[in-house]
Chain A
Amino acid sequence: MTELRDHAIPASVLVASFLAEGVDYVTTVPDFVQISLHSALVDHDDVDVVLCANENQALTSAFGLTIGGKTPLVVMQNQGLLNCLNTLRSVSLDAGFPFVLCVGQFGREFSTLGVDPNASRRNCVNKVEPVLEALGLPYWRLESEADLGNVADAFSSARKRQGTSVLLVGAYTSWN
């Protein structure tokens, strides 16, 4: 039987991965899946967290930060991603600026951990990857600690393409 603890990535490990990529700002509408990550980011001295009223502002403020020379990470939930598709079209596809989004798969059943997330019965989970594919935005799954190398790949790809990369966090991040 699949256990949540086999899939929960420690928040401290994720933060270290983001810092290694030069992240100095996080713009976010906090995500239920990534609560421990959110807390770790807020507590970290090397990262400034911008709390946003909605995900459009998380994207537009990240766009402004990038123009000004910073390296923001945008953290949101799958519902938030679906909420800001037009802004994503504008700042990512039209303007062509490099961003990395870290999106929590809220509502994913524990029974689908370890298998294809598209097997979820919930639309807010199983429609995320098809929507990203429709937009032509590459994504990397973070299904367990074994996937941590995907963080560097996502950042590298965003820089190379001058486009948006999306990390999909499949399970609750853990507090260690």
Chain B
Amino acid sequence: MPMSCLEACTAIAKDRSDDIIVSTMTAMFAISRVSPSPLNISSVPLMGGASGIGLGLALSRPDRRIIILDGDASLLMELGSLATIAGQAPGKFLHFVFNNNRQFSGTGNLDRPAGESFDFAASALAAGYAGAVRISTLDELEKNLPELRQRKGPTLVELKIKSGQPRGPDTPQPDIPDLQFQRMGNEARQLQAALI
């Protein structure tokens, strides 16, 4: 049975130590809830930006493990980033893709391009990632995380995630607060200070 975004983030954050976590979309809210840290940075509002931000961090701080919590539709926007990352081959780069086959999971639950047939793990391997796996259950994720952390990257882990309940006429979209637009810069300055 597919896991929830919150369950996946809880498992990934459990032994994060001083790992830097770059997140986006739904995972951004989940990781903030289960593992708030100055070593978190959100790609927001910037769909597709997480993998590139993570690459820059990986190159500048090769001593740190960089964990990316990417969205499926987000990575599709910047699928070429797989080649960009493979070209640099950062060794401590663990790239999770939360695949719920939806755009705006838990808000709109709209279809995304290519649907279930798109294979992110195969795409990463074809691009030149050192490794890639597909994981369908929370139990499987928890069992494999210790080994995945130790692998020489870049490694992509495609997670099968269940989508949230969509909004409808009774739950209209919210007014987006200013914080959403200030968040990435604030977190970037916080992370920069933490890395000095």
Q: A67-B195, A90-B49 are in contact. Are A61 and B55 (CB under 8 A)?
A: yes
1/0 contact trace for B177-196 toward A, CB 8 Å?
Answer: 00001101100100110011
Q: Is the CB of A67 within 8 A of B80?
A: no
Q: Does B45 sit at the interface, judged by CB under 8 A? A: yes
Asked whether B54 is an interface residue with its Cβ less than 8 Å from the other chain, the reply is yes
B60 CB–A CB distance under 8 Å: yes
* Chain B residues with CB under 8 A of A76: none
Which of chain A's residues have a CB closer than 8 A to the CB of B55?
50, 57, 60-61, 64
Task: Given the known inter-chain contacts A56-B49, A57-B52, A60-B52, please indicate yes or no for A68 contacting B188, CB distance below 8 A.
Answer: no
Residue A149 is within 8 A (CB to CB) of chain B in the complex: no
Q: At the interface, yes or no: A53 with Cβ under 8 Å from chain B?
A: yes
B133 at the interface (CB under 8 A from A): no
Given contacts A51-B84, A51-B87, A60-B49, contact A69 B56 (CB under 8 A): no
How many residues on chain B are close to A (CB under 8 Å)?
34
Q: A54 near B80 (CB under 8 angstroms)?
A: yes
Given contacts A50-B88, A87-B46, contact A65 B185 (CB under 8 A): no
Q: Given A61-B56, A64-B54, A67-B192: A96 and B185 within 8 A (CB)?
A: yes
Residue in B closest to A69 when the chains form the complex, CB atoms:
B60
Contact of B188 among A53, A62, A72, A97 (CB under 8 A): A97
A139 to B61, CA, bound (A): 30
What residues of chain B lie closer than 8 Å to A64, measured between beta carbons? Answer: 22, 52-60
Shortest Cβ gap from A40 to chain B (Å): 20
Contact across chains for A53 and B195 when beta carbons are under 8 A apart? no
Contacts A/B (CB < 8 Å), 5 sampled: A60-B55, A67-B41, A67-B56, A70-B56, A72-B56
The reply to whether B60 and A60 form a contact with Cβ atoms under 8 Å apart is no
Quote the shortest CB–CB distance from A170 to chain B (angstroms): 28
Can you name the residue of chain A whose Cβ is closest to the Cβ of B54? A64
Please tell me which one of the listed residues B46, B81, B191, B196 contacts residue A53 in the complex, with CB atoms under 8 A apart. B81
- Given the contacts A61-B84, A95-B184, A69 and B195 also touching, CB distance less than 8 Å: yes
Do residues A56 and B48 form an inter-chain contact, with CB atoms below 8 A? Answer: yes
A57 touches B46 (CB 8 A): no
Encode contact with B along A87-99: 1 for CB under 8 Å, 0 otherwise: 1001100111100
> Which residues does B use to contact A, with CB under 8 Å?
22, 41, 43, 45-46, 48-49, 51-61, 78, 80-81, 83-84, 87-88, 181-182, 184-185, 188, 191-192, 195-196
Number of interface residues of A (CB under 8 A): 31
CA distance A25 to B49 in the complex (A): 19
Distance in Å: Cβ of B96 to nearest Cβ of chain A: 17
Q: Which residue of A lies closest to B61 (CB)?
A: A68
Q: In the complex the two chains form, what is the Cα distance from A65 to B49 in whole Å?
A: 14
Structural contact, B182 and A94, CB atoms closer than 8 A = yes
Q: Residue of B at shortest CB range from A72?
A: B56
CA distance A43 to B182 in the complex (A): 39
B49 and A87: CB pair below 8 A?
A: yes
Residues of A with C-beta under 8 A to B46: 60, 86-87, 90-91
Interfacial chain A residues near B78, Cβ < 8 Å? 53-54, 56-57
B104 CB, min distance to chain A CBs, angstroms = 17
A131 at the interface (CB under 8 A from B): no
The one of A48, A52, A60, A70 in contact with B53, judged by C-beta atoms closer than 8 angstroms, is: A60
Query: Closest CB of chain A to B3's CB: distance in Å?
Result: 28
Distance A171 CA – B78 CA, assembled complex (angstroms): 30
* A-chain residues with CB within 8 Å of residue B192 when the two chains form the complex: 66-69
> Which B residues touch A56, using CB under 8 A?
48-49, 52, 78
